[in-house]
Amino acid sequence: PQSTIPQETKSICPYCGTGCGVIIQHDGRRILGVRGDPDHPANFGRLCTKGRTLHQTVHAPDRATRPLRRDRQGKERPLHWDAALGLAAKRFAEIMRAHGPRAVAFYVSGQLSTEDYYVVNKLAKGLIGTNHIDTNSRLCMASAVAGYKASLGMDSVPACYEDIAHADCIFIIGANPAYAHPVMFRRIEDAKVQNPDLRIIVADPRKTATTSIADLHLPLKPGTDVALLHGLLHILVWDDLIDRDFIRTHTEGWAALKQRVQEYTPKQVAELCELPEALIREAALCFGRARAALSLWCQGLNQSAHGTDKNTALINLHLATGQIGRPGAGPFSLTGQPNAMGGREVGGMPNLLPGHREITNPEHRAEIARLWGIEAIHPEPGLTAVPLFEAIERGEIKAVWIACTNPVVSLPDQQQVVRALQAAEFVVVQDAYHPTETGEYADLILPAASWGEREAIVTNSERRISHLRQAVPPPGQARPDWQIFRDFALALGKALDAAGGEPAREARGQDLDPAREQARSHAELAQRLFEFPDAESVFQEYRETTRGRDLDISGLSLALLDREGPQQWPFPAGATRGQARLYTDGIFPTPSGRARFLAPDYAPVAEEIDARYPLRLTTGRLRDQWHTLSRSGQVASLFRHVPEPLLDIHPSDAGRLPEGSLARITSRRGSVVVRIRHSTLQQPGTVFLPMHFGSRFAPSGMANVLTLPALDPVSKQPELKHAAVRVEPA
Ligand code: SF4
């Protein structure tokens, strides 16, 4: 008989990138409660409303518990796992035989564990030979990654949470951490109490819970961040608040940037950003005179058609003032999802390979091919999220495997995503919850284990790796995601052999020929590539790929994480603790060892307002909800804060629309109908709609019906934060 005495198992909250430690209370069968882990350095026992109610999300009626075959009329019938994976393998093998391996794709999630990510990445790039594997992290951190790489030479966050307590100026731009990273925000509140001299600047078009603690709020016009950042630097140069020694010794590209920011006079910037000139000047002096300045940002900079430019312009401020690589100083992007960083570490994007390697780099491909024991990896990066769904609609990609994400609600131009899934020949949706909006277009639903039901590692916003332990078994037949990918790989090997011929022409730039891989058959190759008896064996293989790389964790083991607690990377062999801050020696991982100033020009938003669409729509998050509500939507109390999608509109823009009335919001892509809320937190001319609600929770209130698929040219992150709309009575 099972024990009924509550037991406690350490884990991590699966919501935001703060990465709070939690202690799961359970009886070995069911999760009964949750409390904050007082020993975890991300939260020291604190949890927000979402974390505190996690236990209510586990044994929910909407959990996916068995594989389901689904026909296009929506009729579902249960399948055994072998039959389900056999069916998926047969369909993938048929499509690969007819159209080549790049006719199949994967779209995964920053909520997968590092092990899940590693195995699906190896499945796509190592066994199948398609680099079409992207993740919803494309909607989250892609511009920050591109900015770090361009400016600092690698994809890594230089600062850590402790820096909040050491800073005397915190500059928050394009983020509302009071809602989106609440426990991290508590640290900022604490720092403000401890240090009355701490000055907080918040640049955000709206007044938010975060702006309420700001000493200076800059309500800039949406999308004008680059102009503001250049304007701040202009003042720093003019007032000689730059660090000439640091610029001379540790950077390159200063002359071009200095010339660029000369054009951004306070007067011009004030006009562009629609801000008082005095406020811009005050913010610049606050940053420039700080002993230690820390910048925090998230989707407000990243989800933009100029997201990379916004990131590099912000990093410029830190390099020009030498505010990096020491306590309290540095640019610190807040990761949206719990393991977006872990996904990048294992190469879970179409341009990446494990250990922060690039697909386009022949040496990197050869290193991973050697580690995996395969002949080669295809040299061309796969498609990123938005182009991937466009390729599905065009019929170029015929099968897509979607895991742990709900693109029908979260991608821009929602109707395009629906058309794509309707056009696909075969759609697999693997999720811990069913139904979801995306599941409505699936041919096969696969049930995944969730929080508390599997062992894994994840990396939070400050590069800290934590070990999640399993407390209870998954419900019904649900399995950990990495196991599903492994078992599918084994089934696919057999199906490829059964399909005969040369099923995977063009794979990895050549025929996928098992003989070249020293295997007699695809089945044997799959067997060799996916010999993972448990999650730890996956972790160990991944760890080997990091040896000698920037994120080297060859000194880490699960036993060490259990003994010493969560650790920041890098953690090379022989290390006794992780590295809190990067670039403390002023040397950067660029060919010259110097950080790079980039000098982008300001460019306006992708879709300007006009007479037909006169209002600026910004989208964002609510305090008590997460993503598309698959998990947080299971908890009734989380709807108390905001029960439905409300359009916040300034009274001067509301016209004939009374408070609480239904309004139709229309963009060039479609319309939604939601209730309106008069709010002076909005600037006149700008309206706000939360992004969480899909058709299951608000049949006509999906924000991404309105958004557009304009992409940043480098990061390929879409401009989810701005669209031109009109608002009229419904
Ligand atoms: Fe979870 Fe983020 Fe809340 Fe922490 S702050 S409890 S990680 S949602």
Mutating to test ligand 1, I would choose from 11, 12, 13, 461 the residue with most ligand atoms within 8 A of its C-beta, which is: 13
| Pocket lined around ligand 1, Cβ cut-off 6 Å | 13, 15-16, 18-20, 43, 47-48, 50-51, 181-183
**Nearest atom of ligand 1 to the alpha carbon of 338:** 7
Q: pLDDT-derived band of residue 274, with 50, 70 and 90 as boundaries? A: very high
If one counts the domains in the chain, the total is: 4
| 81 within a domain of the structure (yes/no) | yes
**Nearest atom of ligand 1 to the alpha carbon of 183:** 5
CB 7: neighbour CB atoms within 10 A? 13
Mean pLDDT, the chain, integer:
96
Domain closes at, from 319, 334, 349: 334
Residue 235: left if φ>0, alpha if ψ -120 to 50, beta else—which one?
Answer: alpha
Tokens of 179: 């809602």
pLDDT surpasses 60 at 669: yes
**Are 210 and 257 found together in one domain?**
yes
**Are 278 and 164 found together in one domain?**
yes
**Nearest atom of ligand 1 to the alpha carbon of 12:** 7
| 322 within a domain of the structure (yes/no) | yes
Centroid of ligand 1 to alpha carbon of 534 (angstroms):
28
DSSP three-state, residue 686: strand
Task: Compute the distance between CA of residue 369 and CA of residue 587 in angstroms, rounded to an integer.
Answer: 30
pLDDT surpasses 70 at 290: yes
Centroid of ligand 1 to alpha carbon of 298 (angstroms):
15
Strand order through the sheet with 567-568: 456-459, 464-468, 567-568
| 313 within a domain of the structure (yes/no) | yes
Stretch 265-279: mean pLDDT, rounded? 98
CATH of the domain at 52: 3.30.200.210
Q: Which amino acid residue places its CA nearest to atom 2 of ligand 1?
A: 16
* DSSP sequence for 62-95: TB--S-EEE-TTS-EEE--HHHHHHHHHHHHHHH
Centroid of ligand 1 to alpha carbon of 232 (angstroms):
32
Q: pLDDT-derived band of residue 31, with 50, 70 and 90 as boundaries? A: very high
- Residue 124 Cα distances to 40, 424, 446, 534, angstroms: 35, 18, 18, 20
Beta strands in 311-364 (DSSP E): 330-333, 352-353, 357-358
Centroid of ligand 1 to alpha carbon of 261 (angstroms):
38
Contact between 504 and 100 under an 8 Å Cβ cutoff? The reply is: yes
C-alpha 45: how far from chain center: 24
Centroid of ligand 1 to alpha carbon of 313 (angstroms):
29
Task: Compute the distance between CA of residue 454 and CA of residue 436 in angstroms, rounded to an integer.
Answer: 22
Q: pLDDT-derived band of residue 505, with 50, 70 and 90 as boundaries? A: very low
**Are 23 and 154 found together in one domain?**
no
**Are 87 and 44 found together in one domain?**
no
Centroid of ligand 1 to alpha carbon of 695 (angstroms):
25
Centroid of ligand 1 to alpha carbon of 461 (angstroms):
12
Among candidate residues 387, 477, 453, 459, the one with its CA nearest the CA of residue 716: 387
Q: pLDDT-derived band of residue 1, with 50, 70 and 90 as boundaries? A: very low
- Domain span at residue 448 reads 68-137+360-404+411-545
In tens, the pLDDT along 145-181 reads 999 999 999 999 999 999 999 999 999 999 999 999 9
**Nearest atom of ligand 1 to the alpha carbon of 22:** 6
Secondary element (H or E) of residue 516: none
**Nearest atom of ligand 1 to the alpha carbon of 36:** 6
Stretch 655-663: mean pLDDT, rounded? 95
Q: pLDDT-derived band of residue 500, with 50, 70 and 90 as boundaries? A: confident
Centroid of ligand 1 to alpha carbon of 20 (angstroms):
6
CATH of the domain at 279: 3.40.228.10
Centroid of ligand 1 to alpha carbon of 338 (angstroms):
9
**Amino acid, res. 255:** A
State how beta strands 133-135 and 251-252 pair.
unpaired
Stretch 263-289: mean pLDDT, rounded? 98
Among candidate residues 612, 703, 725, 705, the one with its CA nearest the CA of residue 299: 703
User: By 3-state DSSP, what share of the chain in percent is helix, strand and coil, each rounded to 5?
Assistant: 35, 20, 45
Task: Compute the distance between CA of residue 82 and CA of residue 62 in angstroms, rounded to an integer.
Answer: 23
**Are 17 and 146 found together in one domain?**
no
**Are 382 and 484 found together in one domain?**
yes
Backbone phi, then psi, for 648, in 5-degree steps? -80, 125
pLDDT surpasses 70 at 722: yes
- CA torsion angle 364 368 369 370 (round to 10): 110
| 606 within a domain of the structure (yes/no) | no
End-to-end CA distance of the chain: 58
Centroid of ligand 1 to alpha carbon of 460 (angstroms):
11
**Are 189 and 243 found together in one domain?**
yes
Centroid of ligand 1 to alpha carbon of 23 (angstroms):
13
Task: Say what the pLDDT of residue 520 is.
Answer: 76
Q: Which amino acid residue places its CA nearest to atom 3 of ligand 1?
A: 48
Give the contacts of 715 (CB within 8 A, at least 6 positions apart).
142, 143, 145, 146, 147, 302, 307, 308
**Are 35 and 74 found together in one domain?**
no
Task: Say what the pLDDT of residue 508 is.
Answer: 45
**Nearest atom of ligand 1 to the alpha carbon of 52:** 6
Task: Compute the distance between CA of residue 85 and CA of residue 70 in angstroms, rounded to an integer.
Answer: 14
**Are 400 and 454 found together in one domain?**
yes
Mutating to test ligand 1, I would choose from 48, 341, 625 the residue with most ligand atoms within 8 A of its C-beta, which is: 48
Task: Compute the distance between CA of residue 537 and CA of residue 124 in angstroms, rounded to an integer.
Answer: 19
Centroid of ligand 1 to alpha carbon of 51 (angstroms):
5
Centroid of ligand 1 to alpha carbon of 16 (angstroms):
5
In tens, the pLDDT along 44-54 reads 999 999 999 99
Give the contacts of 212 (CB within 8 A, at least 6 positions apart).
178
CB burial class (10 A; 0-12, 13-18, 19+) of residue 655?
Answer: exposed
| 505 within a domain of the structure (yes/no) | yes
**Nearest atom of ligand 1 to the alpha carbon of 48:** 3
**Nearest atom of ligand 1 to the alpha carbon of 43:** 4
CB 490: neighbour CB atoms within 10 A? 18
**Are 92 and 157 found together in one domain?**
no
For 427, which DSSP code?
Answer: E
Reported ipTM: 1.00
Mutating to test ligand 1, I would choose from 11, 34, 35, 43 the residue with most ligand atoms within 8 A of its C-beta, which is: 43
Mutating to test ligand 1, I would choose from 11, 12, 15 the residue with most ligand atoms within 8 A of its C-beta, which is: 15
Task: Say what the pLDDT of residue 501 is.
Answer: 56
pLDDT surpasses 80 at 519: no
Centroid of ligand 1 to alpha carbon of 568 (angstroms):
18
Q: Which amino acid residue places its CA nearest to atom 4 of ligand 1?
A: 20
Tokens of 373: 């024991």
Tokens of 439: 């599941």
**Are 133 and 149 found together in one domain?**
no
Residue with tokens 């007819």: 98
Q: pLDDT-derived band of residue 587, with 50, 70 and 90 as boundaries? A: very high
**Are 380 and 507 found together in one domain?**
yes
C-alpha 475: how far from chain center: 27
pLDDT surpasses 60 at 598: yes
| 595 within a domain of the structure (yes/no) | no
Q: pLDDT-derived band of residue 502, with 50, 70 and 90 as boundaries? A: low
| 347 within a domain of the structure (yes/no) | no
* DSSP sequence for 22-66: EEEEE-SSSEEEEEE-TT-TTTTT---HHHHTGGGGTS-TTB--S
pLDDT over 90, % of the chain: 95
Contact between 123 and 485 under an 8 Å Cβ cutoff? The reply is: yes
| 11 within a domain of the structure (yes/no) | yes
CATH of the domain at 685: 2.40.40.20
**Nearest atom of ligand 1 to the alpha carbon of 47:** 6
Which of 500-504, 598-602, 695-699, 712-716 has the weakest average pLDDT? Answer: 500-504
